[in-house]
Structure 1
Amino acid sequence: MLDNLKENFSHIFEDALIDEIGQVGVLKEVKEGEKVIEIGDYVRSMPLLLKGAIKILREDDDGDELLLYFLERGDTCAMTLTCCLGQTKSEIRAIAELDTTLIMIPIQKMEEWTGKYKSWRNFVFQSYHARLTEMLETIDSIAFYNMDERLVKYLQNKKKITNDSLINSTHQEIAYELHTSRVVVSRLLKKLESMGKIELNRNSIKIIAL
């Protein structure tokens, strides 16, 4: 675990902090599609991503989901930080997009390190800023983009996160995450295919030129 920590965070944290994380952190393996955090959970620890990716979702009163942003290697979740420090219930759902390895940091250490290590304090503030920026981009896409533009951005993000041109998602799964209907997603995907930008397969989409 210590080697993984150094590989992912040595450019951010000083050696003393990495050693402390190695001592108190709990290694957690999460399979693709498995929930990491559920809406309504009390969050007692903060995740640091060593490998993989996690998608963060919100849910409306009807139970429909909206994708807020992705977390990648070297990231943490600002929403988790807020829940931990405020000791409030989670308002987001976190699901592994890929097989993911995390280190879970106890809430007590989060507060202690904020005063003890400048690098930790900067990391927390930068994480808040990055996640806020991503949520603002999501809001902008809903408010100002057409659904076809949102779909293209979604597929581009999926390709970037998975580092793979083959997107293993059904039309219904994409519709859930974009908060729209399967019919709309299917129509727009067929349009992209007719333009030569993607290739549609059963339960998957191959990106050709997006």
Structure 2
Amino acid sequence: MMDKLIENFSTVFERILIDEIAEVGTLMTIKEGEKIIEIGQYIKGMPLLLSGAIKILREDEDGDELLLYYLERGDTCSMTMACCLGATQSEIRAIAETDVELIMIPIRKMEEWTAKYKTWRNFIFDSYHNRLNELLATVDSIAFKNMDERLIAFLKEKSRIANTNYIVNTHQEIAYDLHSSRVVISRLLKKLEHLGKIKLHRNQIELLDL
């Protein structure tokens, strides 16, 4: 665990803080597709990602989901921090987009380090800023972009995170993430295929020229 902490955070935290993280943190491995945080759950720790990616989702009153943003190596989740410090229930769902390794930090240390280490405070503030910008980008996308533009951006981001031109998702799964319907997503994917942008396979999409 120490080697991965140094690899990911040596330019972010001083060595004494990295040592403390290694001492009190809990190393966790989560398989692709597994839930990490559920809506309504009380959160007892804050995750620091060592590898992989996590998607953060919101759910409306009808149970439909909307993808808010992804967390990647070196990230943490500001919504998780807020729930931890406020002892409130989670308003988001976190699912492993890929296989994930993370360290869970206890609440008591989050508060202690905020007062003790300037690098930790900066990391927390930067994380809030980054997540806010990602949320604003999601809101802008919903408000100002057509669904075909949102779909293309979604496919590009999935490809970047997985580092592959093959997206392994059903049309229904994509519809869930984009808060749309399977019929709409299937129609738009067919359109992109006709334009030579993608190639559709069974439960798989090959990106050609997006």
The bucket for the TM-score relative to the shorter chain is over 0.9
Gapped runs of 5+ residues in structure 1?
A: none
| TM-score for both structures, normalised by structure 1 | 0.99
1:137-148 paired onto structure 2 within 5 Å? 137-148=137-148
Distance 1:82 1:100 in 2: 22
List per-residue Cα deviations over 1:145-204 (Å, max 9, x = no partner): 000000001001101111111100000000001001000000000111111111100001
Residue 132 of structure 2 aligns with which residue? 132
Matched, 1:159 2:145: no
Residue 71 of structure 2 aligns with which residue? 71
Distance 1:15 1:175 in 2: 44
1:49-128 paired onto structure 2 within 5 Å? 49-128=49-128
List per-residue Cα deviations over 1:91-130 (Å, max 9, x = no partner): 0000000000010000000000001111000000000000
Residue 149 of structure 1 aligns with which residue? 149
SS of 1:104's partner is strand
May I ask how many residue pairs the two structures share in their alignment? 210
SS of 2:19's partner is helix
Query: What fraction of aligned residue pairs are identical, expressed as a percent?
Result: 69
Distance 1:208 1:107 in 2: 45
Letter in 2 for 1:201: H
Letter in 1 for 2:71: L
TM-superposed deviation, 1:53: 0.4
Residue 198 of structure 2 aligns with which residue? 198
Letter in 1 for 2:202: R
Residue 168 of structure 1 aligns with which residue? 168
4+ runs deviating over 6 angstroms: none
Letter in 1 for 2:23: Q
Distance 1:115 1:196 in 2: 55
List per-residue Cα deviations over 1:63-89 (Å, max 9, x = no partner): 000000000000000000000011100
